[in-house]
Chains A and B, each alone.
Chain A
Amino acid sequence: MATIVTLADGVAELVRDGDAVAMEGFTHLIPFAAGHEVIRQRRRDLTLVRMTPDVIYDQLIGAGCARKLVFSWGGNPGVGSLHRFRDAVSEGWPVPLEIEEHSHAGMANRYVAGASGLPFAVLRGYVGTDLVKATSNIRPITCPFTGEVLTAVPALRPDVAIIHAQRADRDGNVQMWGIVGVQKEAVLASTRSLVTVEEIVDELPPQPGAVVLPTWAVTRVALAPGGSHPSYSHGFSIRDNDYYVSWDAISRDRETFTRWLDTEVFRRAAVAGGAESADRAAATGHEATA
C-alpha cells in the first residue's frame, strides 16, 4: 500500500546515495519538483536512468548528484545541447560521469523486461550501429524457433522510480493520462517508487485513456502541485517552452548554473515545483529545507 508522505520525507526515505534512480516522464509529467528535492538533499553517486535526460538530469548532473547516466537521448528538446551533461562527460565537472548509452527502443524494452520480471528483452535494433561497440550490454541472440539473429538488452531494475502523475486518491491509487511514456514500466521495474501528484482526491473520476497504478504497486505518494514544471501535467498545466529555451543560457556557464542552483533549488521549499514555491511556502509558514 502506498502511503502519502511529504515530498521531502518521500525522497529522504526512498532515495539513497549510490542508488540507481529512474525519473521518467516523456516530455510530459517530468518529476522536476522531486528532482530538485534530490538535489536539495544532496544525494551522491546516483546512477541516473532515463530515456531522455533532458533539463531535469542536466540539473542533477550539474549539481553533482550522479556518478553514471543510463540513457538514450540527451538533449534539450527543440532547443539544443545539454551543457551540464556535456561538461560532465567531456571535462568531468563537477564530477566525472560514466555513461551507458542505448536507443529509445532499447531503453523502452529494458523497462518492459524489468516490469515483466524477465532478465532481458529482445528487439530488432542496434544492428550495424556503433552503439554495439560503445555499450557492452547490447548482445546478439538467436531465435530458438526461426534461427533469426536478434538483439538482446538486459532488464532495467532501478532501486527507485520517481514519476509525476495528475492525481492520487487517499488510499494511494495513482491516475495519469495524456502522454504516458514509460512511467508504468519504470515503476513496475523498480524496487521502490515515489509518485508526486498534482492533487489528492477522495475518489479517482473515470478518465479516458488513463493509466492507473494501484496503491499496492506504489511505495509512496507525495502531493506536489506544479511539480512537473517546466514540463507539464495534461489538464493542469502547459509546457513552459520559454523555460526550456532560457535553460540554454543558464546552463552554458558553470557560474551562472551554480547561481541558478542556489537561488532556484537550495533556497526554495520542497512543497511545490512552480516558480512561486518559496513564496507559497513562506506564505503558509513552511520553512525551506535548505
Chain B
Amino acid sequence: MTAATRVGVDDVAWTADEMMTVAAARALRDGQACFVGIGIPSTAANLARRTHAPRLVLVYESGTLGAKPRTLPLSIGDGVLAETADAVVSVPEVFNYWLQPGRVDVGFLGAAQIDRYANINTTLIGDDYRHPKVRLPGAGGAPEIAASCPEVIVVVRQSTRTFVERVDFITSVGHGSGPGDRARMGLRGAGPSMVITDLGILKPDPQTCVLTLSHVHPGVNVDKVRAATGWDLAVAADLAVTTPPTDTELAVLRELEATKGRTP
C-alpha cells in the first residue's frame, strides 16, 4: 500500500509516505529515549538520529538499548541493533526495568485501526474475537508502551478503513473514552500526543481529547482528510501546513530506505 503519488512543490517531489516519515522524525527531540517499533517508526527514528537528533536513544523491544544501526533493520532484532547498542538486555528487563517505570520518553506506535480518542487496534478486524474477519498480529509490546511511555506518537496511513468510529478491539489505550479516563485507569503516561499520517497531523484537543486536525501536508486539503476519516473530523482554528521535506531530509531518508534489511 505504498503511496506512490508524488506531490510537487517548486520542483521538489516526494511521496506521501516520505512526508509522513519526515514529519514523524521531526516529532522526536534530540536526547530523548524512544521505544521504536518496526516499519515507519523505525525509519523515522533513524532519520531523526541522522538529521536533527544525533543523540536520540533508540530502544527496541528485543532489548537493544541505544542502538545505532548503520542499515535499516527489517526486524526489531536484526544483528546490527545488538552490534551497535549501548547495552543489550533481556526481554523481561527491557519491559520491566526500562519501559514500565517510564524511563523511555516516547513510544512510537502504528495501528490497523484508530478511533477519535486514539485508541489503537492491532489485533483483529471483525466483531467476533473467536471468528475474526481478519486476524492481525496482535499486541506485541504496544499495550504497555501506550500505558507507560510519558508520551506516545502514532504513525499510520489515513483512510476510512483505518480511522474508524469504533475500533473492533482495543489493543492499546489512547485516551480511552475521553478526558480523565487514563488517570482513572491508572495509566501513568500522558497518552498519544499526536497522530502523524500521510495526509496531515492530528492532536488530541486539550479539553475533549478528541483528535483534531492541526496540520495538513503540502498539497493536501481539509476535504481530502475528512474523506479519509470515519468520523466527523474536528479541524483546529489555526490549521497549519506542514513544512515540506528539506532536500537533506529526503536525501538521508532515501539513502536509509535503500539499506533496509541489508547486511551492514
In chain A, positions 174-210 with a C-beta closer than 8 Å to chain B are 178-182, 184-185, 209
Please report the C-alpha to C-alpha distance between residue A73 and residue B91 in the assembled complex, in whole angstroms.
14
Residue of B nearest to A235 (CB): B79
Pairwise interchain contact A89-B139, C-beta atoms closer than 8 A = no
Picked from A82, A101, A127, A234, the residue with its CB within 8 Å of the CB of B185 is A127
Least CB distance from A238 to B in Å reads: 6
Which of A79, A105, A130 is within 8 Å of B141, CB to CB? A105
Q: Nearest chain B CB to A167's CB is how many angstroms away? A: 17
Residues of A within 8 A of B21 (CB): none
The answer, yes or no, to whether B99 is at the interface (CB within 8 Å) is: yes
In the complex, what residues of A have CB within 8 A of residue B261's CB?
78, 241, 245
Digitize B135-152: 1 where CB-to-A-CB distance is under 8 Å, 0 elsewhere: 111111111100110000
Chain B, 92-142, CB within 8 A of any chain A CB: 92, 95-96, 99-100, 123, 129, 131-132, 134-142
| Complex-state Cα separation, A178 to B91, whole angstroms | 12
Given contacts A104-B140, A179-B63, contact A244 B148 (CB under 8 A): no
Contact of A185 among B63, B92, B143 (CB under 8 A): B92
Say how far A86's CB is from chain B's closest CB, in angstroms.
5
Known: A85-B135, A130-B171. A108 touches B77 (CB 8 A): no
- Report if A101-B139 is in contact (Cβ < 8 Å); known contacts: A78-B75, A129-B170, A130-B123: yes
- A12 on interface, CB distance cutoff 8 Å: no
B176 close to chain A: CB less than 8 A = yes
> Which of A28, A111, A125 is the one whose CB lies under 8 Å from B147?
A125
Q: Is the CB of B100 within 8 A of A104?
A: no
| Complex-state Cα separation, A125 to B172, whole angstroms | 10
Contacts of A72 in B (CB 8 A): 138-140
> Using a CB-CB cutoff of 8 Å, which residues 72-116 of chain A contact chain B?
72-75, 77-79, 81-82, 85-86, 89-90, 101-105, 108-109, 111-112
**Is A139 positioned at the interface, with any CB of B under 8 Å from its CB?**
no
Which single member of B88, B96, B138, B185 contacts A179 (CB below 8 Å)?
B88
A177 to B89, CA, bound (A): 10
Cross-interface CB contact of B173 among A28, A129, A244, cutoff 8 Å: A129
Does B186 sit within 8 A of A, measured CB to CB? yes
A57 contacts the other chain (CB 8 A): no
In Å, the complex CA distance between A161 and B77 comes to: 21
A17–B120 alpha-carbon span in the complex (Å): 38
CB of A185 to closest CB in B, whole Å? 6
Contact A108 B91, beta carbon cutoff 8 Å: yes
Which A residues fall within an 8 A CB radius of B?
26-28, 51-52, 71-75, 77-79, 81-82, 85-86, 89-90, 101-105, 108-109, 111-112, 123-131, 133-134, 148-149, 178-182, 184-185, 209, 211, 232, 234, 238-239, 241, 244-245
- Which B residues form the contact surface with A (CB < 8 A)? 38-39, 61-64, 73-79, 81-82, 88, 90-92, 95-96, 99-100, 123, 129, 131-132, 134-144, 147-148, 169-173, 176, 181, 185-188, 261, 263
- A–B complex contacts, Cβ < 8 Å, 17 sampled: A28-B62, A72-B138, A72-B139, A78-B39, A78-B75, A78-B261, A81-B137, A89-B132, A102-B139, A104-B61, A104-B141, A105-B100, A124-B148, A128-B176, A129-B172, A134-B123, A180-B90
Enumerate the 3 nearest inter-chain pairs by beta-carbon distance, A residue then B residue, closest first: A27-B77, A75-B137, A73-B140
